[in-house]
Amino acid sequence: MHRIKEKPEGGNNAKADDARGDFYIKKKDSKEDLWYVVECKSAKSNAEDRGLVSKDITDPKKRKKKCIDFLCKFSVNRDKNIKSIYAKGEKAYKKKKVSWEAKHPRKTFPPFRWDKDNPGAFFPNLTGLWSTKADIEKWVNALPDEVFTSEAFYNREAPIRLIQTHMPSRRTDKLGLKSTGPLVTEFNILCMDLFLRTGKHELVFVNSQDLNHQAKAPNHLQQNYNIDVLVQKDGFARHYPQSPWYDDLDECIQKTNPKPRKIDKTQLDYR
């Protein structure tokens, strides 16, 4: 394993396009100059405030309503939402494809390759925890107001924990599309440390090629992927690994076959 420089001499422009991760790795017994680039991230610290109850809402009753709607999305209404998200993403992609190809004759826009069963920013599976929306309302409304504050979410004292990635890098791809999110080709494997949401250094892994790209920018990854939603109702148990995530790095490599790359020694951090 070799560490990759965070900022090589010359700044970000000097970083290799296919080595914008944190480490080069390969098997110790491998003699080939073939490596995987791994990008390491921690969970987004304000995921709940941004994506679950909204930091701008201070009324506990309104926060509870937002929480109920959020839980419905991943449980009793999950199948309906999956179809809707996929359809919206495909529609946005096709519209962008038509406009881009009209401006670039004889060139082809990259294909749409979302997972139909787990589209967009991904849909954690909470089916089976509740049978109806009324069951969710009963559970949420019985909880004290103070566990829905921003501080409670930050301190893991709230009844819900959203595990989400955060990759705010701004990139321009070979098509000339500029968007906030890494390029799919920057690294082979994304490694996530779940500590901020589980309190333990648990690592999960995913092949970058298996992450759903941005609908309008197929060469870009999204900033935020939903890995799981932990809830107090079942003791904050994890509900995965859910495809395309793996708990084991070897299994991720063996089952998804990321394409290795040769090491670029100008990118190495020898400290």
The DSSP output letter for 111 is P
Rounded-to-integer distance, Cα 175 and Cα 227, Å: 29
Q: In the chain, which residues have pLDDT < 70?
A: 10-13
Q: What is the per-residue pLDDT for 49?
A: 84
> pLDDT by residue (tens digit) across 20-29?
999 999 988 8
Q: What is the 3-state secondary structure (H, E, C) of 30-91?
A: CCCCCEEEEEEEECCCCHHHHHCCCCCCCCHHHHHHHHHHHHHHHCCCHHHHHHHHHHHHHH
CA dihedral angle for residue 256, residue 262, residue 263, residue 267, rounded to 10 degrees: -90
Q: Which tokens sit at 42?
A: 């921690």
Q: What is the per-residue pLDDT for 52?
A: 81
Chain position carrying tokens 């826009």: 109
Q: How far apart, in Å, are the Cα atoms of 179 and each of 162, 184, 220, 245?
A: 24, 12, 7, 24
Helical H segments across the chain, by residue range: 47-51, 60-74, 78-103, 133-141, 150-154, 195-198, 249-256
What's phi and psi for 228, nearest 5 deg?
A: -165, 160
H/E stretch holding 183: none
Rounded-to-integer distance, Cα 126 and Cα 189, Å: 26
Q: What is the per-residue pLDDT for 10?
A: 64
Rounded-to-integer distance, Cα 217 and Cα 124, Å: 23
Task: Enumerate residues 6+ apart whose C-beta is below 8 A from 114.
Answer: 86, 89, 90, 120, 212, 213, 215
Residue type, 15: K
Q: Which tokens sit at 172?
A: 């321009």
Q: What is the per-residue pLDDT for 240?
A: 76
